[in-house]
Structure 1
Amino acid sequence: MRKLKHLPFIILCMLLSGCGAKKNTISTETAMQTSEIELKGETESSSKNATETTAKSSSEADTESMTVSPSETDLDTDIETSPVANEDTENNTPETKYITIDLSTARETHPTGDAAAPFDLKIVSEEENGIDFANEWYDRKGLSLPMIGTDWNSFYDDNYQYLWSGEELYIYENGTGNCLYVLTYPTDKWYINGNNACLKDGIFYGASVTNGYAQPDTCFMFAYDLENNKLLWRSADQTCNSMNFIVKNNVIICGYGFTSEDDYLYQLDLHTGEVLSRLTLKKQPDLLVYQDNTLYVHTYSYNYTIEIK
């Protein structure tokens, strides 16, 4: 009886417990649904942002592509036009002329014409040099030789640069660097390491030198028309074995001498090769430098300062 008396109370408690469980189940399900909705919202938001970012990146990429395109077009244009430009440059480059100057049968010869007037040469100073090197004296004078490099096989003037390679003389044009001529002519190798050539108005002036005592057909100067491949004149023997010569106006100044021979500073007519005058020196002139109407002549054992009028 006592158990039955409490039965309604027990049933009520059981009902209340079931409702609580159901309520908790509903709350749990609601919370899960809410989380799923929030997660879905975040996912959709992220997807939307990603979509916007992708769209923006695509737009920027398109913009960059539009910006880059002209440069690429310009590059293509440059590449296409470059061969044409190179072809024009090649077409403007003169062809190198290879000329052999045969002096084996050439004898002294002079064309007719009015003779040039020689300069008045006056020795200002004559001093023994103790057999020094020429460049040491010129350095002390503040002068420079036109030779380039330690071998002195290259030299220059206002218009051209000259380079001895083997037994050939290469002539390059200043400014462009174009090789205009490659010349071959007989001269002693000892004398090809100096400024002993000059191209002026299409005429080449050079020296054919033999190292040794005086003998026929040696140590002379010549003028050669490179365009017409023609010898214009050939000077007398033993008029030039200096390592360089000076061209001033219509006169060539050069030197000749040897151990037991007379030593002279010669003036030759530029257009005929005739000897205009000669000045006696104590030793063979080997190097000449001209500056401010003064000629600085180095010999084996003497240095000369000569005034030119």
Structure 2
Amino acid sequence: MRKYLTAKLLKVTEPNLLPKKAAIAPRLFISLIAFIAIYSAPIFNPPHPLFRSLFLKDNLAVVNNALNNVELIKLPTPPFERDSPGEVNVRYSPVNLNVVSVEGNNITDDLAWFANNNLSLPTYQVPNPNRNIAGNLPDYIPQTFNDNVLVKAIRYPTKEYLIYGNNYGDGKYLFIYDLKKRQFTAGYDFGNYLLPPDYPVSDGDFIDQSLTWIVPEDNILYVSHRHRTYAESSQGMNGYLTAIDLNTNNILWRSKPLVCNAENFVIIDRVIICGYGFTAEPDYLYLIDKQNGEILQQINVKTAPDYIIPKDNKLFVRTYDTNYVFEIQQK
């Protein structure tokens, strides 16, 4: 059909119908029209791969530049308490956990645990080319911020919280996207949270404390920071929870160290449930008062907690090699 259309259009300018000089310009003009008629549709519907690539790159640049329009607030250095919780005396808590079941897992079967228990975290899957993961991000979420990559994208009903870092194990910057306003409304630089005031120089490359998880509530941002090596590498200054007042950007409280290096934590009533553990270190779940950061209860688990997820009136906890189910009792 396209060949036929071209031939039919070009046939109008047969040389024997026009003087030789007069025929040249119309032939070129009509040939151009034929070319446009034939190729314009494929270029735009669907886009030609070259044009599609250019369009996507331009669109991605616009999305990524959206973060540069946000005022980035550098948060002050937090306190770095050194004293670990040790043995904690049980205090009154409006939330109690009673063990329902304990069973071993295969260590690497995280996905099966989520699927079998119909559990999920409120996150998008972040693209990671190193692991051939395409991700499922909405178009408005930038995958990079300057030289940093998107590490985690946490979804809540009205806002989304995006963590960026130097690599996929890092977490230094936080941006907040307002779903109702459809725009980024705040940005925070947690660079002062990365390193404790003193540490062995030989361990300096391994103890950046990444922003790991975020729970917003009543204009307070509850955040966890951790590094992924032994506590002694940072002289015990690791695994903190911090409450930040978003009205003033001031710290309301910071927990003792070594209470939170799990992938996430949850808030039930006025209690934060988090977990800490590592090789050759004590492994616990902690119940923490969200109003002041004080430890209410300490629950021993076999190995380091990874995920803590409430569902109905139960709390599902996955540790390195053991799965727990607790009944949640609220007073």
Q: TM-score, normalised by structure 2?
A: 0.58
- 1:290 maps to which residue? 310
Is the CA contact 2:95–2:268 (under 8 Å) kept in the aligned structure 1? Answer: no
CA distance in 2, matches of 1:147, 1:191: 17
Shift of the alpha carbon at 1:116? Answer: 7.3
CA distance in 2, matches of 1:154, 1:260: 31
Report the CA distance shift for 1:210/1:163 in structure 2 as closer, same or farther (over 3 A): same
Report the CA distance shift for 1:138/1:159 in structure 2 as closer, same or farther (over 3 A): same
Q: Does 1:230 align with 2:250?
A: yes
Report the CA distance shift for 1:105/1:150 in structure 2 as closer, same or farther (over 3 A): closer
Please provide the CA RMSD for this pair: 2.4
CA distance in 1, matches of 2:92, 2:252: 16
- 1:61 maps to which residue? none
Q: Does 1:199 align with 2:216?
A: yes
CA distance in 2, matches of 1:133, 1:190: 26
- 2:226 maps to which residue? 209
Structure 1, gaps ≥5 residues long: 1-94, 110-114
What amino acid sits opposite 2:223 in the alignment? Answer: G
Is the CA contact 2:313–2:327 (under 8 Å) kept in the aligned structure 1? Answer: yes
Q: Does 1:183 align with 2:188?
A: yes
Q: Does 1:172 align with 2:177?
A: yes
More helix as a share of residues: 1
- 1:258 maps to which residue? 278
What amino acid sits opposite 1:158 in the alignment? Answer: P
3-state secondary structure, aligned to 1:135: helix
For residues 131-176 of structure 1, what are the alpha-carbon distances to aligned partners after superposition, in whole Å with 9 as ceiling and x for unaligned? 1232321111112222211456111123321111222111112333
- 1:141 maps to which residue? 117
Shift of the alpha carbon at 1:221? Answer: 0.6
Is the CA contact 2:304–2:319 (under 8 Å) kept in the aligned structure 1? Answer: yes
Is the CA contact 1:205–1:223 (under 8 Å) kept in the aligned structure 2? Answer: yes
3-state secondary structure, aligned to 2:114: helix
Is the CA contact 1:122–1:308 (under 8 Å) kept in the aligned structure 2? Answer: yes
Identical counterparts, % of pairs: 33
CA distance in 2, matches of 1:189, 1:162: 20
Shift of the alpha carbon at 1:282? Answer: 0.3
Q: Which runs of 4+ in 1 moved over 6 A?
A: none
CA distance in 1, matches of 2:237, 2:318: 26
Is the CA contact 1:160–1:173 (under 8 Å) kept in the aligned structure 2? Answer: yes
3-state secondary structure, aligned to 2:111: helix
For residues 182-224 of structure 1, what are the alpha-carbon distances to aligned partners after superposition, in whole Å with 9 as ceiling and x for unaligned? 11213567855x5x11222221111121222223322111111
Structure 2, gaps ≥5 residues long: 1-68, 84-90, 128-150, 166-171, 195-206
CA distance in 2, matches of 1:135, 1:250: 30
3-state secondary structure, aligned to 1:158: coil
For residues 256-298 of structure 1, what are the alpha-carbon distances to aligned partners after superposition, in whole Å with 9 as ceiling and x for unaligned? 0010111111111111000010111001111111110111111
- 2:269 maps to which residue? 249
Question: Which protein has the larger Cα radius of gyration, Structure 1 or Structure 2?
Answer: 1
3-state secondary structure, aligned to 2:119: coil
Report the CA distance shift for 1:97/1:248 in structure 2 as closer, same or farther (over 3 A): farther
3-state secondary structure, aligned to 2:95: coil
What amino acid sits opposite 1:241 in the alignment? Answer: N
Q: TM-score, normalised by structure 1?
A: 0.62
